[in-house]
Amino acid sequence: MTTTPTPASSPAPAAVPAGSGPWQLARAELRRRTAVKVSLAVVALFLLMAAGAPLLSSLAGWSPEEFDKTAVDPYLGGRPLGPLGGISADHWLGVEPVTGRDLFARVVHGAQVSLLIALTATAIVVLAGTAAGITAGYFGGRTDAVLSRLMDLTMSFPSLIFMIAMMSVAKDVNRILLMTAVIGLFGWPGVARVVRGQTLSLRHREYVDAARVGGSGPWRILTRDILPGVAGPVIAYTTLIVPGMIATEAALSYLGVGVRPPTPSWGQMIAESVAFYDTDPMYFVIPSTCLFLTVLAFTLLGDALRDVLDPRSGRT
């Protein structure tokens, strides 16, 4: 670089468009990091697992709700037969104590439920938060005041208590849908604040004035001029809130107000396994490891994305 006076794009004129755009630069930067590769692989693994849950469990030969009394010892309080919680060629990750349900099938289906709720809630949070933040930041004035107060209100609300209460009271509804909505409801102000702050600094840039001078209306300015500027921080922030969402889902399920059994979920499995920590530690280890790995992978990915896409924001 120091010896060539021309920018990096000039040695290969054919390659000028590729390699110099903001996204290409970000991709090249991300590709250099090992943590990104590893965490991407883990995230991809769990996503594939979640997406192919029925296929995988049928491959293993067990459905998540199928009892297998032959795998547990009825005389020892339903302790799984065999070492490490009954890991065998038949049950790849062992079985649940007492019922003998296949742990692999349950973990895989649990991943489906956990990730579905976490990712949908994240999508709601990000869309609502970005829309609210960009509107508040760009239009300012009364719009900003109303939206900002709404953010404060939502943030100061005792959200966990509300979630628990809401989930306990609602009886005959789709639990997964309700959970997504309830988790999503309290997440948007975080995104909205990030986006609002970024928009505030962007809307006074001269290129926004230049766009207005060129006759662009507010919608066009928001989508064409402001949105690319907030996209970086939003993507980074999104990846960082996914683990929080997974953890919240697990927490609610752990507390017994999440998805209803027999639908499996990681939090629920961890809650049930606590009773067996002494006799069958593997029952606790397996869903916990999945939860830990997913959360860690998303966090690492989010950190790296933030470093690359939003270099100005400090680490918290």
Partner 1 sequence: MAAQAVPTDPAAPAGPAASEEQPLLSVTDLTVTFPTRHGDVRAVDSLSFAVRRGQTLGIVGESGSGKSVTSLAVMGLHTGARVTGSIALVGRELNGLPERELNRLRGRRMAMIFQDPLSSLHPYYTVGEQIAEHHRVHFGSRRAAARKRAVEMLAEVGIPEPARRAGEYPHQFSGGMRQRVMIAMALACEPDLLIADEPTTALDVTVQAQILELIARLQEQRGLAVVMITHDLGVVARVAREVLVMYGGRAAEQAPVDTLFADPGHPYTRGLLDSLPRLDDSDDAPLRAIPGSPPSLLDPAPGCAFSPRCPRAAAATPAERAHCAGVRPELRPSQGHLVSCHLSLHTAARVQGGTR
Least Å distance between CB 210 and partner 1?
4
206 contributes a contact to partner 1 by CB under 8 A: yes
* Candidates 6-14, 56-64, 249-257, 278-286; binding stretch for partner 1 (CB under 8 A): 6-14
Among positions 27, 61, 209, 262, the unique one binding partner 1 when judged by CB under 8 A: 209
Contact letters for partner 1, residues 150-189 (x by CB under 8 A): ----------------------------------------
* Candidates 55-63, 148-156, 171-179, 221-229; binding stretch for partner 1 (CB under 8 A): 221-229
5 contributes a contact to partner 1 by CB under 8 A: no
215 contributes a contact to partner 1 by CB under 8 A: yes
20 contributes a contact to partner 1 by CB under 8 A: yes
Restricting to residues 225-264, name those near partner 1 by CB under 8 A.
225, 228-229
Among positions 13, 156, 171, 312, the unique one binding partner 1 when judged by CB under 8 A: 13
Give dist(CA 48, CA 97) in Å, integer: 27
37 contributes a contact to partner 1 by CB under 8 A: no
Residue 263 φ/ψ region, left for φ over 0, alpha for ψ in the -120 to 50 degree band, beta for the rest: beta
Among positions 12, 16, 28, 145, the unique one binding partner 1 when judged by CB under 8 A: 16
Least Å distance between CB 190 and partner 1?
24
Among positions 9, 24, 58, 289, the unique one binding partner 1 when judged by CB under 8 A: 9
Least Å distance between CB 310 and partner 1?
14
Token pair in block for residue 169: 């009271």
11 contributes a contact to partner 1 by CB under 8 A: no
275 contributes a contact to partner 1 by CB under 8 A: no
Among positions 224, 260, 261, 311, the unique one binding partner 1 when judged by CB under 8 A: 224
Least Å distance between CB 24 and partner 1?
11
Give dist(CA 300, CA 304) in Å, integer: 6
Q: In the complex, which residues of this chain contact partner 1 (CB under 8 A)? A: 7, 9, 13, 16-17, 20-22, 205-207, 209-217, 220, 224-225, 228-229
